Amino acid sequence: MFSVLMMSMVILMITVVVMSLASILSKKTLADREKCSPFECGFDPSSSSRLPFSLRFFLIAIIFLIFDVEIALILPMIVIVNTSNMIPWMLTSIFFILILLIGLYHEWNQGALNWNN
């Protein structure tokens, strides 16, 4: 038990030292105007290089990723039904799907699924 604790402390110390060194050594000097501006064939930019970001698109992408992960978690549940006990499998499946339905209801209630806005 003592060796595991000692090894954990050594790993923690190494991690803190490496993170501190990376933080100290990666400090950059103050950037000037020329380095921060976009390069357009040697001329000053004709318009802003920063395009407005659609928060709506971001929310749709996050919802897609969440449902994608949900499908990846539901598919093994179907395969494992033959090799597991039915009661724990059923409780786990119902609990998981209930969480998904509550999340879907919350997204619907907040208006995240309204596509015509």
Give me the count of residues in the chain. 117
Output the pLDDT for position 29. 56
Instruction: Classify residue 17: in a domain, yes or no.
Output: yes
The pLDDT score that the predictor gives to residue 104 is: 85
Please report whether residue 93 resides in a domain.
yes
pLDDT at residue number 77: 86
**Does residue 80 form part of some domain?**
yes
Predicted local distance difference test score (pLDDT) of residue 36:
65
pTM over 0.95: no
Residue 72 CA: distances (Å) to CA of 6, 52, 78, 92: 38, 33, 11, 15
Please identify every stretch of the chain with a pLDDT value under 50, giving residue numbers as ranges: none
Q: Do 63 and 28 belong to one domain?
A: no
Q: Which residue has 């105007």 as its token pair?
A: 33
Query: Is residue 45 domain-resident?
Result: no
pLDDT of res. 44: 60
Maximum Cα–Cα distance across the chain: 70
Asked if 106 and 66 sit in the same domain, the reply is yes
Q: Can you give the residue range of the structural domain that contains 12? A: 2-36
Q: From 55, 34, 53, select the one nearest 45 (Cα to Cα).
A: 34
Q: What was the pLDDT predicted at 39?
A: 63
115 in a structural domain: no
